[in-house]
Amino acid sequence: MMEGKGRADFDSDEALRLALTHLVQIVGEAARRLSAEFRRNNPEFPWKAIVGMRHKVVHDYLNVDEEVLWKTVSVELPTLITQLEALLSRTDA
């Protein structure tokens, strides 16, 4: 979804912003549903921040800082995906 997209695309495309906001909600909801044991056993992930971002976009959506949202989807989310893929490869072995 983000391939070839830049900040200008994000700023000018409401559908893109809404889709990315929804993606952040889904990721946060998934993190929220992980067991406390799993989160404790994988402290390299910022679980509290991930869930907190979900709460922010769901409950305080009128005050979401678009700069923070952009950084989340363009920098932090790709890093998170890489980390999760590494975790999955360790657990599949």
Tokens of 19: 């889709």
Annotated catalytic residue within 7, 39, 40, 59: 59
Question: Is residue 54 flagged as an active site residue?
Answer: yes
Q: Which residues of 19-38 are buried (b: 16+ CB within 10 A; e: fewer)?
A: ebbebbbebbeebeeeeeee
Q: How far is CA 86 from CA 42, 49, 62, 92, in A?
A: 12, 20, 35, 10
- 55 as an active site residue: the answer is no
The catalytically annotated residue of 33, 54, 55, 90 is 54
- Would you please indicate which residues are annotated as catalytic (active-site) residues? 54, 59
